[in-house]
Chain A
Amino acid sequence: MRMLRLALALATSLFAAPAAHAADIAPGIAGRCDIVLKGVLRDGDGKNFSAHLASLTKQRQLTLCLDSGGGDYLEALEIIRAMIDSPASVATRIEKGARCLSACALVFLAGHQGVDDVRPARTMDARAQLAFHGPYLPPDDAGYDASLAPLAYQAGVQAIGELMVLSTDLDLFPETLLVEALDKDPGAFLLIDTVDKAGRWSISVDGTEMPGKIDRRMLYRACVNDEDWRLGEDGGASGKPEPAPTPLRFQQGKVRAKFDGFGDEAGWTCTADAVEIAPGRYAIDLQWTGGFNDPPLRSVEILQRNARAANTVGSVGKPLWIMQEKKTRLGDIAAR
């Protein structure tokens, strides 16, 4: 850590353009964005953010809205540390039209709810941009002395080491996402642009078009996605053909479909409930059972609340976009 801090102190004086603006950290729309962070992360932003967060002593639950093209990795780590250490839980959000790239994307991942039992709480609008890659040194920014190269390797190792420390014991930084992000070259991005990428990495998506009707195949896809995302792999009931998009017959505003053959030794059954909560508006729920029993329908109020965005593993109610094919692009299901 000493090495990193020293590096930052020395490097800032050399690399950061003197006129460069730090990010704006300010209050936003009450109830939606308690804090708004806008602009490129630069030296001092970690401290500014920590101070701002600490000043909001009354709130137990906050939302941080992000709109940033990235910036300094170490400042991002400092912001993440402040979010995790705060007595309040800090959720994150990327609003319609905003972008959150690179160092900002790491901050986005740190969005959570709960204090002791921390769960991911990060929401992007389907019309926002979210993209990851690993930290890098700007190529030949100041005519590096090549003899420093072996030490640059150690600096890289320690930079990731610091992220590992922050993410230990927390379910906020999925390993498969980190691996894919770290493997990207500086100019390349891991874009979160499909239903599969959002679902797999517990990113909630808001601002999506609601389907006008629900058919049997859509509920089946919801089960497959839920299974695959829970297992972190493409397993599920793979190999079985998808059912036809048969229309569902709602009775008293409710319909249930059951699909078996999931999981280990094909012993799991997915029970999918769809509830019409208003004309043409739906909520869905999935329940997994190991036998043939019929689980009761769960609270319609909770389903309704979770119908739009939340996708926490094991949650009651699922977002409607879980019924989409994995490769569906978020832009294609965005509300117009």
Chain B
Amino acid sequence: MATNLLLSLLVSVALLCAQAPAAAAEIKVVDGPNCNLRLSGLIEIGDAQKLKTLLEEQELIDQRTPSTGNDFAVDAGQANLCLDSIDGSFSEALAIVEVLAALASSQDKYVGTVVEAGARCAGPCAMVFMAGRYHAHHGANFPLRKLHPEGELVFRTISPSVAIGQDKGAVAEAFATAVRDIARMLRLNKGASMLDGSTDEHNKRFPRALVADILRLAPGQTLPVERIEQIYRWNIAMVGLPHPRTITADMLKNACEAYSDLDRSGTPERFALPKATGAIAVGTPVTRTVLPPASTVDADERQACVADLVQHPKAGPVLNISLIDDPTPARLKSEATPLAQSRKFMVEENGGDGGAHGLIGEGTWLLYPKQTRIRDLPELMRR
């Protein structure tokens, strides 16, 4: 499969390997509101081993993780790692991800990742960020990667894991190194499948759509994570958002449409507004809004969206959304979860396995149009 790609290189911009800085990242135990470990500074050779040693020596369970009342959720160790690093070695970042993946599969220890307000996580750091996970039950584990609206998360293309030589064979070898580096990255998606063997792309460490976007960046080009549609597509959670003050039926429609895009490919179902389209009473124990399918939807693909807004004692208003196929009044009555049960699930069980990690129901940021900048969310939510 000879790939004659080389000659364009003559005309490409020269943005060659930056000299590796000598300083490594600082990795230490902290007692913050979002994490009990912090990595800051340039990610360099040796950092993976440093983190591994720390994770193996320390009592891992983050005491800030609230109990769900779900017996299965607390049978694994969970640490949370805050990240603040804008450069360094891509290869070492993958080595860190390999450490985290091995800890999860062999020792049932999981590490969530967080980019807090004011922190910057770019390039190699963003790879580590995507590896954050929590244990749900029986070995099934899901992404736990949280971004603060005032944090910065930026993807860049990958860079060589080994020094590129200067001899005659160096050109072909450099190409081969790229192919191997990508194989190494994709291999880290192993173990991210669900119990039924399905492998939802958005539950992987490196969803293929993201990998495609990253690999096609030119050196020096950046892919900043700044809009709601990106964090939903790549299954990133948010931390540090205020409770939304005003919620309208239009906003529930936004959330329903985003939720209905199950494979997160950008092709949602379409819903119509309910007859009463005023503001939803935020703060009441539970409010149900049923959004019928849009009139343009084919008869055999009609779905209704049942959006329950539940007041959670700690998390504020949380969203429990479900979709009902072929929504005749009779089916809506028989298929939709009874209101009291929906509220109980969200309040007493924290919305399931993710609740222990602050993932209660659908993120309220889904209420806003998908093009919304996450930096603007706090202000929009306070309105």
Q: Does B281 contact A (CB under 8 A)?
A: no
Q: Are A150 and B17 in contact (CB under 8 A)?
A: yes
Indicate with 1 or 0, residue by residue over A7-33, a CB within 8 angstroms of chain B CB atoms.
110111011100000000000000000
Which residues of A in the span 210-225 have a Cβ within 8 Å of any Cβ on B? none
Q: Are B8 and A7 in contact (CB under 8 A)?
A: yes
Number of chain B residues whose Cβ lies closer than 8 Å to a Cβ of chain A? 61
- Give which listed residue, B2, B172, B183, contacts A140 with CB less than 8 A: B172
Which residues of the partner chain A approach B263 to less than 8 Å between Cβ atoms?
169
Query: Given the complex of chains A and B, what is the CA–CA distance between A134 and B186 in angstroms?
Result: 14
Which residues of the partner chain B approach A167 to less than 8 Å between Cβ atoms?
208
Query: Given the complex of chains A and B, what is the CA–CA distance between A130 and B174 in angstroms?
Result: 27
Q: Does B331 contact A (CB under 8 A)?
A: no
Q: Are B8 and A149 in contact (CB under 8 A)?
A: no
Q: Does A261 contact B (CB under 8 A)?
A: no
Indicate with 1 or 0, residue by residue over A132-166, a CB within 8 angstroms of chain B CB atoms.
01111111110111111111111111111110110
Q: Are B218 and A150 in contact (CB under 8 A)?
A: no
Q: Are A6 and B8 in contact (CB under 8 A)?
A: yes
* Of A90-98, A180-188, A274-282, the one with at least 4 CB within 8 A of chain B: A180-188
Q: Are B183 and A155 in contact (CB under 8 A)?
A: no
Indicate with 1 or 0, residue by residue over A68-84, a CB within 8 angstroms of chain B CB atoms.
00111110100000000
Q: B160: shortest Cβ distance to chain A, in Å?
A: 5
Q: Most chain-B Cβ atoms within 10 A of its Cβ — which of A11, A162, A263?
A: A11
Which residues of A in the span 168-190 have a Cβ within 8 Å of any Cβ on B? 168-169, 175-176, 178-179, 182-183, 185-186
* Interface class of chain A by DSSP: helix
Which residues of the partner chain B approach A113 to less than 8 Å between Cβ atoms?
none
Number of chain A residues whose Cβ lies closer than 8 Å to a Cβ of chain B? 71
Closest to B11 in A: A6
Closest to A288 in B: B196
Q: Are A179 and B183 in contact (CB under 8 A)?
A: yes
Which residues of the partner chain B approach A154 to less than 8 Å between Cβ atoms?
9, 12, 157, 178, 218-219
Q: Does A271 contact B (CB under 8 A)?
A: no
Q: Are B212 and A3 in contact (CB under 8 A)?
A: no
Which residues of A in the span 25-47 have a Cβ within 8 Å of any Cβ on B? none
Indicate with 1 or 0, residue by residue over B72-91, a CB within 8 angstroms of chain A CB atoms.
00000000000000000000
Q: B1: shortest Cβ distance to chain A, in Å?
A: 4
Q: Are A164 and B208 in contact (CB under 8 A)?
A: yes
Which residues of the partner chain B approach A152 to less than 8 Å between Cβ atoms?
5-6, 9, 170-172, 174-175, 178
Indicate with 1 or 0, residue by residue over B160-179, a CB within 8 angstroms of chain A CB atoms.
10001111111111111111
Q: Are A146 and B211 in contact (CB under 8 A)?
A: no
Given contacts A149-B171, A169-B263, A182-B179, contact A144 B157 (CB under 8 A): no
Which residues of the partner chain A approach B138 to less than 8 Å between Cβ atoms?
264-265
Which residues of the partner chain B approach A54 to less than 8 Å between Cβ atoms?
none
Chain A residues close to B by CB (< 8 Å): 1, 3-8, 10-12, 14-16, 70-74, 76, 102-103, 106, 133-141, 143-162, 164-165, 167-169, 175-176, 178-179, 182-183, 185-186, 230-233, 263-265
Chain B residues close to A by CB (< 8 Å): 1-12, 14, 16-17, 138, 157-160, 164-183, 186-187, 189-190, 193, 195-197, 199, 201, 208-209, 211-212, 214-216, 218-219, 263, 265
